[in-house]
Structure 1
Amino acid sequence: MAVLLLSRRRTRRGHPAPLRTALADVGIATGTAPWIWMILTPGTGQEGVSLIPLADLAEVVQAPPETVFVQVGGNLLVFAALGALLPVRTAPLASPPRVAAVAAAASLLVETLQYVLELGRFSSVDDVLINTAGAVGAAMITRRWWAPDVTDAPQPG
C-alpha cells in the first residue's frame, strides 16, 4: 500500500521513475528499520567500545557455531536492504564504493549512538566493517538491476 501511495504521489509530481523509487524506498525502510530498532534497544550485555579492527571478530569466531552465525549473519544483514536497493533508487550512488561509504557512515552513526546513549551494548569497529560488507554484498547481488550492461556499451573500433 505504501508503495502505491508513494508512487502515485511521485507520478503527480512528474517523477521520472515513480514506481521504481517507491519500491526501493519502502524496501530500504522496511528492510533496515527492524535491525536498527533491535540494535538501539537497551540491552544488558557488556558495554564499551572497541576500535581495534578484527579484534572482536577474532573472539566471535572462536564461539560456538550458532553464536558465530547470529553475530556475523546478523551484522551482515543490518544494512543489506540499503545496499541492495540504494543503487536501484539513486543512480549517483550506483557503485560498490559509494554503497560502502553510505553503509559505513550509517553503521558508524548507529555504533556511536549505542555508545553515547549508554544502551548496555558494545560498540565495535568490527560491526561497522561487517555491516558495510553486508551492504556491498547485497549491492553486488542486485547489480544486474542497476549496473550498465556492458554488451550495450559502444565498442572501440
Structure 2
Amino acid sequence: MNHSPSRRSPVVLACCALVLVAAGVFLLRRPLLMAAPACVAGRWHGCLDTVNGVLLAMLAGVPLAVLVAWALARARRAGGAGWAWRRSLAEVGLVYGTVPWVWLTLMPGSGAGVVPGRVSLVPLRDLATMGALGIAGNLLVFAALGFFAPVRFAALASLPRVLALGAVCSALVEVAQFAFRLDRVSSVDDVLLNAAGAALAALASRRWWRRDARHDGDRAATAAHGS
C-alpha cells in the first residue's frame, strides 16, 4: 500500500511553519532587535512583558518546539501509533502557536488593578480604531488553534466547529481581561476577529484535516502486518 501522501503531509506542514517563521522574522526584524538585549540578558522587564520580547522569544523557541514534535512522533512510531508525525506536529503547533498570543492579550496595561473593567458590546464599532496591525494581531491570536485543531482532532474537522471554538476561547479571554482588571477593553469585535482568524486558518489546513479517528487503527494494523 502506498502511504506517500501521508508521509508528505508532515513535511508540507513543517515547511509552512518555517515559511511563516521566516516571514515573521523579516517583517518584524527591527522591533525584535529592540527587545533582543533584554531577552538575551534574561530580564523580565523589556522582554516577556513587552510585545516585541514575547514575539522574539516565540520565534527563538521554534527549534525547541520542532525537537519536542520530533520526540513525540518518534515515541508514537515506536509504539505503533498511526499518523505519528501529523499528530505530533499538530499538538505542538496548536499549543506553541496559541499560548504566546494569549499571553499578549492578557498582558496588563499601565492601569491594571486600578482602572475598572471596560466592555464594548456594539459589533464593528472598535474596528475603525484598531488599525491594520490591531486587526492582523487579533486574527492571529487563535490562528494556530484553527489551523491545527482539525488536523489533530476529527471531532473538530468542521468549519462551524472551529469558528465556535475560536469564539468560545476568545470570549473566555475577554472575560478574563474584565475580571482581572487588566486595563483592557473587553470588546465583541475582538471575539469576532479572533474567531474569524481561527476559521481562515482552518481553511488553510483543510486538506490535512483528520476526517476519521479509525485511520489511526488502520495505519497501525497495516504497519504490524507489514513487519
Q: TM-score scaled by structure 1?
A: 0.81
> Which residue among 138, 142, 146 is the counterpart of 1:75?
138
Residue equivalent to 1:64: none
The residue type paired with residue 112 of structure 1 is: V
Residue equivalent to 1:32: 98
Shift of 1:74: 0.4
The residue type paired with residue 102 of structure 2 is: I
> Which residue among 116, 136, 139 is the counterpart of 2:202?
139
Q: Distance in 1 between matches of 2:168 and 2:81?
A: 28
Q: Distance in 1 between matches of 2:79 and 2:169?
A: 29
Identify unmatched segments of 5+ residues in structure 2: 1-66, 212-227
> Which residue among 119, 135, 141 is the counterpart of 1:49?
119
Identify unmatched segments of 5+ residues in structure 1: 61-66, 149-157
> Which residue among 87, 92, 106 is the counterpart of 2:150?
87
Shift of 1:13: 4.9
Verify the 8 A CA contact 1:75 1:130 in the aligned structure 2: yes
Q: Distance in 2 between matches of 1:7 and 1:116?
A: 39
Verify the 8 A CA contact 2:148 2:205 in the aligned structure 1: yes
Paired residues for 1:118-137 under 5 Å? 118-137=181-200
Residue equivalent to 2:173: 110
Shift of 1:54: 1.4
Higher relative contact order (CA 8 A, sep 6+): 1
Q: Distance in 1 between matches of 2:81 and 2:177?
A: 37
Verify the 8 A CA contact 2:163 2:195 in the aligned structure 1: yes
Q: Distance in 1 between matches of 2:200 and 2:77?
A: 32
Shift of 1:145: 1.8
Q: How many residues align?
A: 141
Identical positions, percent: 50
